[in-house]
Amino acid sequence: MSSDRSRSPARLLAPVALLLFAVAVALVVVGSGSPDEDSGGSAAPTGEKTTTTDRASAPAPRRAPATYTVKPGDSLGGIGQKTAVKVDTLQELNPALDPQALVPGQKIKLRE
């Protein structure tokens, strides 16, 4: 072997780069821990009650609409996925509904 290969800067830079990469991965893993974990972070200690002031000031969750207007290409299963209502529930709420003959513009009940 020639003496030029032993003096190549890559022989020194490769291990340094590997070490820097390992440190970066370790920092990402340590920094990505969720605050809910029992890591001694900002979670309330055992026996201490948490306050509910945040929930009191938060807006009330929006209620799902009562009806859905069928769009071109909709199917009963697709409507169920979009609205988070089971197909069985849709069929119970709309007994006259023919799932194979949905018409764009048709209104479907989603809840009572």
pLDDT (0 to 100) of residue 70: 94
| Average pLDDT of span 90-108 | 92
More confident residue, 56 or 68: 68
More confident residue, 39 or 101: 101
Q: In this structure, what token pair is assigned to residue 62?
A: 């929006």
32 pLDDT band, cuts 50/70/90, is confident
Q: Is the pLDDT of residue 9 over 80?
A: no
Q: What percent of the chain has pLDDT over 70?
A: 69
Q: How do the domains of the chain map onto residue ranges? A: 64-109
> Strands 67-69 and 107-109: what pairing?
antiparallel
| Average pLDDT of span 23-47 | 66
- DSSP secondary structure string for all residues of the chain: --HHHHT-THHHHHHHHHHHHHHHHHHHHHHT--TTSSSSSSSPPTTPPPP-HHHHHSPPPPPPPSEEE--TT--HHHHHHHHT--HHHHHHH-TT--TTS--TT-EEE---
pLDDT (0 to 100) of residue 26: 86
More confident residue, 97 or 57: 97
| Average pLDDT of span 12-38 | 79
For the chain, the straight-line distance linking the first and the last C-alpha, in angstroms and rounded, comes to 84
pLDDT (0 to 100) of residue 52: 55
64-109 topology per CATH: Membrane-bound Lytic Murein Transglycosylase D; Chain A (3.10.350)
